[in-house]
Amino acid sequence: MEIPQDVVRELQDILKGDFPLFMAAMGQSPHGGLRFNSRKVRNKEYLALGCSEKIPWTEWGFYCDQENAARHPYHHGGIFYIQEPSAMAPAEILSPHRGQWVLDLCAAPGGKSTRLAEFLGDSGFLVANDISNSRCRGLLHNMERFGMKNAVVTNETPERLREHFGPIFDRVLVDAPCSGQGMFRKEPSLLKEYVSGRERPYSQWQREILNAAVDLTAPGGEIVYSTCTFTVAENEAIIDDFLREHHDFYPLPIPLSNGFAPGVDNMPGTVRLWPHQVKGEGHFVAHLAKKGSAPSKKDCNGTIEQDTIEVWERFLAENEIQTPSGIITRHKNALFLTAQGIPLCRGLKVVCRGLYLGDIKKDRFSPSQPWSLSLSKADIDSPLVFPVDSMEIDAYLKGLTVKAHAPKGYHVIFADAVPLGWVKSDGMGTLKNLYPPAWRNL
């Protein structure tokens, strides 16, 4: 790997005697990782994928071969997220508590947002935002696989969010756009992008986003800032300038364990993950806290109220599905399930508010794929369960017709204990496959 000379010179200055170790590590193969969904793991499903070595800085991360992982039934069912091991660190360092309000300001493709949602469970409120419309589609897909009802996906600028919400979030994650030097080993294409994109004003963008985060963080709240690049200009220099300008913030210590190294010049509240010191790619993380104490009540222009929808209630009764806990709301013909206390977010570009349940079409209800992934066998009187390695599961994920006897109506297909999606039985042994074409194993 031929690293650009400007990067080499800076790394030599930072690492000094460790630079040869760094270069040797960059010549080795990258480490694959899978992060399992703590809300869905029931029977140590990670063992079925050959995952035995844990990533030490996260409870649910494992070093695993990623080849064909995206085609595995458990991936379809939201059991795990394919994520680079070092990229799992920022959400673990932020570690929100149940009931808190959390903002992921640069959320796509969703690896960190899905983990933050796990910390919250069905409590609190998560905003997963990305400024890019195209990247929001991937973000939404991953949030849907994990089945969160207390999350809102938005497609806004940080400035618009600041104007709408103000300082109300207990935890804010800024996984900032960066030059990506830390990912050269894992994704060689980023090396070409780095060379062609040298003039991109990453430092300016990072400062603007972090400054917007200031006015979104409640007193007593915390910010985690992270990048996947090596240069001081996008890491320690950003944090140094930030703390000079914002005297109401101070650094929080990050434990130097599991191979985490201190930031350059031992800057407080910062760590670096170096490829020669951890089994992962290059990362920088800073942990900051805002002085003061959080207000006891959040006011965000009203909260969502329950709608009464007869066609939905009839669908549940006819197909013997338990009524989900939460608030049912309607937007045009679509139904959503949200948690108590979720704000309206009126005026923002909301991609999805809560868990998308399905659509009302004339006098009937058509269930959604995301809703099926949030269900368990206990929620359904007649679940259709097949072994994860069965022909039926393989056929289902390819969009083919499945043969099995089931009462007439809608049913959820399970791979062992993992829900995968809907079928519609004719009552005579044929199950119409309702798996979305865009999700299929083709």
| Cβ neighbour number for residue 226 with a 10 Å cutoff | 26
Cα→Cα distances 183→4, 30, 193, 278, 281, Å:
14, 9, 11, 14, 6
* Length, in residues, of the chain: 442
Cα→Cα distances 189→3, 192, 196, 279, Å:
12, 5, 11, 21
The helix (H) or strand (E) run that includes residue 37 is: none
Residue of 344, 288, 345 whose CA lies nearest to 156: 345
DSSP state of 380: B
Sign, Cα dihedral of 89, 91, 94, 98 = negative
Q: Which amino acid appears at position 422 of this protein?
A: W
Q: Which of 106, 178, 228, 345 is catalytic?
A: 228
Query: Beta-strand (E) ranges in 155-262?
Result: 169-175, 217-227, 249-251, 261-262
Residue of 56, 55, 61 whose CA lies nearest to 35: 61
Helix (H, G, I), strand (E, B) or coil at 14: helix
Query: Beta-strand (E) ranges in 111-248?
Result: 125-129, 151-154, 169-175, 217-227
Query: Is 345 designated active site?
Result: no
Please list the residues that pair with 76 across neighbouring strands: none
Q: How far apart are CA 1 and CA 282, in angstroms?
A: 15
Would you state the torsion angle of the CA atoms of residues 397, 400, 405, 411, taken in this order, to the nearest 10 degrees? 50
Residue of 87, 109, 108, 93 whose CA lies nearest to 273: 87
Q: Is there a cis peptide before residue 109, judged by omega within 30 degrees of 0?
A: yes
Which are the catalytic amino acids?
228
